[in-house]
Each structure stands twice: as structure tokens, then as C-alpha cells.
Amino acid sequence: MHSHADLHTRSHAHSHASHDWEMPHQFDEGNPAAERGTRWVLVITLLMMVAEIVVGLFSNSMALLADGWHMSSHAIAIGMAALAYTMARRHAHDPRYAWGTWKIEVLGGFASAFALVGVAGLMAWSSIERLISPLPIQYGEAIWVAVIGLVVNLVCARILHGAHGHHDEDHEHHDDHHGHTHHHDAAHSHSAHGAHADVNLRSAYVHVLADAMTSVLAIAALAGGYLFGWQWLDPAIGFFGSIVVAIWAVGLLRDTSAVLLDREMQGPIVEQLRSALLAPANGGDIEIADLHLWRVGRSRYACILGLVTHRADLEPQHVRAWLTNVPALYHVSVEINHCGACEPAV
């Protein structure tokens, strides 16, 4: 088959996708349960943070003060997640957002992941500092603080986990009743296959889990120090915890940056799309000359597709039919370049 470059040296006909001027495309209807959940978690975290700092100042307890300021970093990150949901909802029908406001939530998750990197760095620095220069530990008071922190974080984790499950049910219900069809050359196909992860909710959830894990590790380390005199165990486990938190943060940065930078061409949906187009049942003599894919929702992809063929009978509605069963392919703009003057491929 001739290359796309060969096409420009020969006369050919075009079948273009007609323009769709409906604006904005709001592919996701937000996540009200997650927005409510992050707000509740933010309130609980702020209350716990203020209580620890105030009591720590009055009791001159460094353990309470340290944990209070540590929780402040998580409160900032969870606040960013809640703000992202609010901004996405408020601007959902703003025509300036051509593909809706879902990426505001992704941006919130990206910023929150950076905050998590900072938390991991502070944990590592404090742990190394305590290993080099050990300080006396008030084990009874510190264990009490860690236990209270663990309970608070388990409550917050339960709230966010419930929001995630509620959103999955809402998404499936919405998919079952949502149709998106245009009788133009711009092909639209939709397949409900389950929601992709809500990275903004995931970022808030990871912050809560990181704090809960820190509390569990602190309880174990403090118990070891109290029972066996292993004072080094507290900073050692703290350093180990910082590595785990850093790994979570890097995973969040990787996933959110892939969406924000439209790094989607390595995903499985690309191979599914190619297989659907080049299947033998389609008659052959088709070349994919141009393919651009990007995510426009948690489980929604948009695609610009350019085909080259010698077949005069190939029309965009045929391509539309071939792509119907490709999961998550929601909006497709098709351009067919008929190369009638070219010699058929052998």
C-alpha cells in the first residue's frame, strides 16, 4: 500500500468529517459523592490538625506539634482536591472548555501528588536527622497521638472509599442510559466498560492512606522502643515509610501527567482501534495515514483518524460501524482519502 507521502503526488478525492459545533463537550458529569467526601475529610483533618497544634503548644509536646504540622500538609492537598471538584462543577457548561472540565480534576490530582512528594521528603529528612541525632521520646504520649491519628485517618479513608464506590454505581447507571449519536461523517461510538480511576479522588485517598500508614508504623516503632529500648526503630521505620509514600506519589504523577500531556498513544485502546480498522472482514486495502488519540473523560477518548484507500465504495459510516465495539472510543473524526489514480496495493 502506498505511503501517506505518495498520496500527495497523485490526484485523489476526500471524504471529510463534518464539523460538530456543540460546545462544550461535557463527557463526565462530575463526582458529587467524591466532592462531598473530600470536603468532610478536609474538615476532619483541619479539626484534628488544630487540636494537635493547640494542645501541643500548651503542653509543650513536640510529638503533638510535629504530627499537627504534618497533618497540615495533607490538609492542603485534600483542600486542593476539593477545590478541583468545585471548579470542575462550576465551569461544567463554560463553552471555553471544548472537552469539558474533567481535566481540572486531573490537574488537582497532579498538584496533590507534588504535595505528597514534599511529605515524603520531610519524612525522610526528619528520620535521617533523628537517626544521626536521637532525641528523648515520650513514648506514652506519642503512642496516644499515633492511635488518635490512625482512627481519624481510617474514618477519612472510609468516607473516600464510599465516595469511590458510589461514583462507580452512578457511572454505570449513566452509561446504561446515555446515547451520543450524530448522523454526520463525524463518527461517535460509546461503549460502557466501567469507569477509569478518578485520579483526583485517588490523590486524596493516597494522602489519607499515607497518613494512616505513618500512624501504624509509628505505633509499631514506639511499641518496640518502649518495650525493648530500640530507639533507632522509630526513625528507621519513618524512613521506610517515606520511601513507600514517594512511590505512591510518583505513580500519581505518572498517571496524571499522562492525561495532561495527552500521552495516550501507548495504551491498549490504540491496538484495539488498529485491529478493528484493519480486520480482514473489512475488505482490506486500507492504510491508517493519521491517528491522534487523547482522553476527554475518565473513560472517554476522542480520536482524529485519517485513512488512505483505493476503494471508491468506502465511506465514513462504514468506519463508524467498524469502531462501534471499541471500548471508550466516544468521539471520532474520520477523513477518508480516496486514491483512485494510484495502482492498487499488491
Which of 154-168, 181-195, 290-304 has the least mean pLDDT? 181-195
Considering the domain architecture, whether residues 293 and 330 belong to the same structural domain is answered as: yes
> How would residue 143 be classed by pLDDT, with cut points 50, 70 and 90?
confident
- Statement: residue 25 has pLDDT above 60: no
Retrieve residue 247's grid coordinates: 512511590
H or E element, residue 335: strand 329-338
- Statement: residue 22 has pLDDT above 50: no
Closest among 198, 209, 116, 117 to 164, alpha carbons compared: 198
Question: What pLDDT does 14 receive?
Answer: 38
Query: 3-state class of 184 per DSSP?
Result: coil
Considering the domain architecture, whether residues 133 and 213 belong to the same structural domain is answered as: yes
Q: Quick check: is 173 in a domain?
A: yes
Q: Quick check: is 113 in a domain?
A: yes
Question: What pLDDT does 110 receive?
Answer: 92
Retrieve residue 20's grid coordinates: 460538530
In the chain, % of residues over pLDDT 70: 77
Question: What pLDDT does 32 receive?
Answer: 83
Considering the domain architecture, whether residues 51 and 14 belong to the same structural domain is answered as: no
Question: What pLDDT does 42 receive?
Answer: 92
Q: Which domain holds residue 181?
A: 32-185+194-260
Q: Quick check: is 92 in a domain?
A: yes
Which of 101-115, 128-142, 172-186, 189-203 has the least mean pLDDT? 172-186
Render pLDDT for 77-90 as a digit per residue (tens, 0 to 9): 888 888 988 888 88
- Statement: residue 200 has pLDDT above 80: yes
Q: Quick check: is 346 in a domain?
A: no
Question: What pLDDT does 62 receive?
Answer: 58
> How would residue 155 be classed by pLDDT, with cut points 50, 70 and 90?
very high
The residue ranking higher by pLDDT, 137 or 59, is 137
Q: Quick check: is 204 in a domain?
A: yes
How many CB atoms lie under 10 A from the CB of residue 194?
12
C-beta of residue 197 within 8 angstroms of C-beta of residue 90: no
Across the range 271-291, mean pLDDT stands at: 85
When divided into structural domains, the chain yields a total of 2
Domain boundary among 216, 240, 260: 260
Output the domain CATH number for residue 289: 3.30.70
C-beta of residue 12 within 8 angstroms of C-beta of residue 341: yes
Q: Quick check: is 27 in a domain?
A: no
Question: What pLDDT does 165 receive?
Answer: 54
Question: What pLDDT does 27 receive?
Answer: 54
> How would residue 189 be classed by pLDDT, with cut points 50, 70 and 90?
very low
C-beta of residue 167 within 8 angstroms of C-beta of residue 31: yes
> How would residue 186 be classed by pLDDT, with cut points 50, 70 and 90?
very low
> How would residue 325 be classed by pLDDT, with cut points 50, 70 and 90?
confident
Longest CA span, the chain: 88
Q: Quick check: is 288 in a domain?
A: yes
Considering the domain architecture, whether residues 129 and 233 belong to the same structural domain is answered as: yes
Considering the domain architecture, whether residues 299 and 179 belong to the same structural domain is answered as: no
Considering the domain architecture, whether residues 288 and 316 belong to the same structural domain is answered as: yes
Considering the domain architecture, whether residues 256 and 271 belong to the same structural domain is answered as: no
Considering the domain architecture, whether residues 89 and 237 belong to the same structural domain is answered as: yes
Question: What pLDDT does 26 receive?
Answer: 54
Considering the domain architecture, whether residues 251 and 327 belong to the same structural domain is answered as: no
Write out the DSSP string of 101-165. SHHHHHHHHHHHHHHHHHHHHHHHHHHHHHHHS-----HHHHHHHHHHHHHHHHHHHHHHHHHHH
Question: What pLDDT does 43 receive?
Answer: 93
Considering the domain architecture, whether residues 154 and 108 belong to the same structural domain is answered as: yes
Query: What are the CA-CA distances from residue 66 to residues 4, 204, 231 (Å)?
Result: 62, 21, 18
Q: Quick check: is 345 in a domain?
A: no
CA dist., res. 64 & res. 284, Å (int): 70
Domain boundary among 260, 283, 316: 260
Question: What pLDDT does 190 receive?
Answer: 35
Considering the domain architecture, whether residues 9 and 42 belong to the same structural domain is answered as: no
Domain boundary among 211, 234, 260: 260
Which of 52-61, 234-243, 281-290 has the least mean pLDDT? 52-61
- Statement: residue 181 has pLDDT above 70: no
Query: What are the CA-CA distances from residue 85 to residues 39, 80, 95, 266, 337 (Å)?
Result: 10, 9, 18, 28, 42
Considering the domain architecture, whether residues 282 and 249 belong to the same structural domain is answered as: no
